[in-house]
Amino acid sequence: MGQITVFSGPERRRRWSEEERVQILTEAFSPGACVAEIARRHDVSTGLIYTWRSKMLQSVAEPDFAEAVVVTGEGAEPSIIPPAIVVELARGSRVSIFASATPTLAAVVLKALR
């Protein structure tokens, strides 16, 4: 007769709700956050966090428009946080994209400028 090994104890495979995934992704990809630290805190592998982000980005439909605010040079208050990308347009106009913008939003804005 063969030997049988019975593993007792908690199941290692864990399941996360959609709300938990969104919370972890929000923490992991907020400005100044370290994905590895967030992964350790929630006992999740960094690869799983990147997989969740990839799946979420694929499931989000690309927006048809992006909200924009036009500020004229006169009376415009400069932002305390410098923009991550500044695109110089003809006639002295500029488009600023800040680091807090999602990659999807930045892609839509740059695609609209073509």
Predicted local confidence at residue 70, as pLDDT: 64
Predicted local confidence at residue 2, as pLDDT: 77
State how far the Cα of 105 lies from the Cα of 113, in Å rounded to an integer. Answer: 13
Torsion of CA 23, 24, 25, 31, to 10 degrees: 90
Predicted local confidence at residue 107, as pLDDT: 81
Q: What is the pLDDT along the chain (114 residues), one digit of tens a residue?
A: 678 877 676 666 788 999 999 999 999 988 888 999 999 999 899 999 999 998 888 876 665 665 666 666 665 566 667 778 888 877 777 788 888 888 888 887 777 776
Predicted local confidence at residue 78, as pLDDT: 60
Predicted local confidence at residue 37, as pLDDT: 95
SS (H, E, C) the chain: CCCCCCCCCCCCCCCCCHHHHHHHHHHHCCCCCCHHHHHHHHCCCHHHHHHHHHHHHHHCCCCCCCCCCCCCCCCCCCCCCCCCEEEECHHHCEEEECCCCCHHHHHHHHHHCC
